[in-house]
Structure 1
Amino acid sequence: MSATFPQAAPRALQAEDDGYQELLDAATAPLHEVLGDRVVVEVERLDCLGRWAFLMGNMRTPGGERPDFRGTRFAEHAAAGSMSDLYVALLRRDPEGGAGEGAEPATDAADGGVPVDCLELPGEWVLLDHAIGPGDVAWLDWPARHAAPRAVFGF
């Protein structure tokens, strides 16, 4: 059995990484359910740490403008100026076979127990929480609420 240990620092994911688009699609699914394809996320950061991932980005129209929330459930807040352009999401890679809440990421014995890259872990990305246009730091309590490592949020 190989040793497991937490990854020391989050890994900043890049658009050209295999698995990046799958993770981004899972992270932005609630946004697209509400606003369709009239809003895209301009990624500021998409980081992973072990089996955890955190997305922070700005909502934009496909043309790069601020989104128009008229006709949505956000219209009143947007008109009052109490809505930011931010979109944030927390995800966890759940292993196939449901290893459970306390499961640690897989390691590669050939690499001396180094954790396998988050994009290479088995399973699927599960969205745990998200915030559309938060007026404050909505993700501040997510580490405690979801037992997620604070480092993935940059805390």
Structure 2
Amino acid sequence: MNPSFAQASPQALVAGDPDQGAVLDAALAPLRAEFGTVDLVVERMDRLGNWAFVIGDMRSPGGGRLDMSGTRFADAAEQGAMSSVYVALLRREGDAAGDASDAATESTAAGAGPAAPAEAAARDQAGLQQEDADPAVAAETPRGRWVVVDFAIGPGDVAWLGWPQEHAAPRALFGF
């Protein structure tokens, strides 16, 4: 099933957009958890409805290549198997007051896994919280909080190729 979305093409999140800072803050949370202080030179930061996609180049605070020694990525980086790319898929959830449906909360509390694509698309159109989002990796705006649904650090290929199907996210957001 191919869900339809009201907004047909992605919109770039630029300075001045009310969601730009929150999306970037939430997207950087997994990187900061892994490396502490890290910069991201953003190549693309797009929004399509309640979804956002961020892709950029990881950099050390001085602007050079990120030092991965001492991290779980050290061996792969030493062997040249790590790129400097970082990607994140985010979803806007509820409102700033935490308005989410009782069903979504109960389902998540019961340990249910991510929703099937058709169910996730219906939840998206209804403005309900997705079950596969990680509320620990989020940033709030007056219109809701942005939550990281998936991310890839230093992928050697197009790690996000399956994300539209896995998370019922709009394919257009990824440029394919």
Calculate the TM-score normalised by the size of structure 2: 0.73
1:34-73 equivalent positions in 2, closer than 5 A: 34-37=34-37, 39-73=38-72
- Give the letter aligned to residue 66 of structure 1: R
CA RMSD of aligned residues (A): 2.1
2:138 equivalent to 1:139: no
* 1:123–1:70 Cα change, 3 Å: same
What is aligned with 2:100? 98
The 8 Å contact of residues 22 and 141 in structure 2, kept in 1 or not, is answered as no
What is aligned with 2:23? 23
Unaligned runs of 5+ residues in structure 1 are 107-118
What is aligned with 1:113? none
> Which of structure 1's runs of 4+ aligned residues deviate more than 4 A?
none
Give 1:104 shift: 2.4
1:105-144 equivalent positions in 2, closer than 5 A: 122-144=143-165
* C-alpha separation in 1, matches of 2:164 and 2:17: 26
Identity of aligned residues (%): 54
Give 1:15 shift: 2.7
What is aligned with 2:85? 86
What is aligned with 1:152? 173
Question: What whole-Å deviation, never above 9, does each CA across 1:89-124 have from its counterpart, x for those lacking one?
Answer: 000101232256423277xxxxxxxxxxxx987321
The 8 Å contact of residues 89 and 129 in structure 1, kept in 2 or not, is answered as yes
Residue-pair matches, total: 139
Calculate the TM-score normalised by the size of structure 1: 0.82
